[in-house]
Amino acid sequence: MSAVVKGPPPLICGPPRGDESGPLAVQSLSVAKLGFLRVKGSNAIGSTFLRPIQAMEDSSVSLRNDCAAISGRNLRQMSTMENPTNIVWHKSPVEKLDRQHLLQQKGCAIWITGLSGSGKSTVACALSQGLHMRGKLTYILDGDNVRHGLNRDLSFKAEDRAENIRRIAEVAKLFADAGIICIASLISPYRKDRDVCRALFPEGDFIEVFMDVPLHVCENRDPKGLYKLARAGKIKGFTGVDDPYEPPLNCEIVLQQKGRDCAPPGEMAETVISYLEEKGYLQA
């Protein structure tokens, strides 16, 4: 049953194509910004292959030993290929239950979804702080932050947004398996993409939190000035403006706008913490 902080119904656009509608600068990131990749100990194994990879002017990488250039898109295609039959899962002697017993908590993913400006990151931080004060180990995967590193090669096109969400879900799964309470904060507008993420986790370990805040409230806040840019036509495919958002249908927790005033982030965080306590995630 969802924990609801009641308020007026949301005025929300349909599902947007992907995740964060972040800075435009991220949309076109060339490998030129990556500089050189230096491999230690190259003399020991295959030194003719493991040479520094120099950034090129375009978005491809050229190996000096005349190997075929590998573009960022090709790398993503390689990463989504079916596993060959020679890859076998290696079982560890220390398992999830052992790690959870050590941390005295249960690993899970708290997936905070909602429009840009709905307060996802603010609530994520308040939640992490509240759990930290209770002696619980958390980690936040913020949609914008992840695009500074792991997902820096992804644009805001539909297919890249879906890949952005997939990668974050896989990382959240690893954190949860380590016994950590992982808080993922990103727009993730499509139900289909969120359902794919949920399917990665054991039953109950994916906790979807919907920031149910009306579009006009989010646009009035506009903390990053992105709605203004979208309305001016400088950002295309922006969630809530010219791309839809699909609200969750069966999420675990709904955090709603209260009249004209939004509930304090700490109060919303306590709603999530109460859910975790009730479901036994704050003890091993």
- Alpha-helical (H) ranges within 134-200 are 143-146, 158-177, 191-198
Contacts with 280 (C-beta within 8 Å, 6 or more apart), sequence order: 106
Measure the CA–CA gap between 123 and 121, rounded to whole angstroms: 5
CB-count burial class (<10 Å; 0-12, 13-18, 19+) for 278: exposed
Backbone angles phi, psi at 243, to 5 degrees: -140, 145
Catalytic residue flag (residue 121): no
- Alpha-helical (H) ranges within the chain are 72-79, 96-103, 120-133, 143-146, 158-177, 191-198, 215-221, 226-231, 265-278
Q: Do 137 and 210 contact (CB within 8 A), yes or no?
A: no
Measure the CA–CA gap between 216 and 228, rounded to whole angstroms: 12
Determine which one of 121, 128, 155, 188 is catalytic. 188
Q: Do 96 and 113 contact (CB within 8 A), yes or no?
A: no
| Residue 58 tokens, joined | 């375009």
Residues classed as catalytic:
188
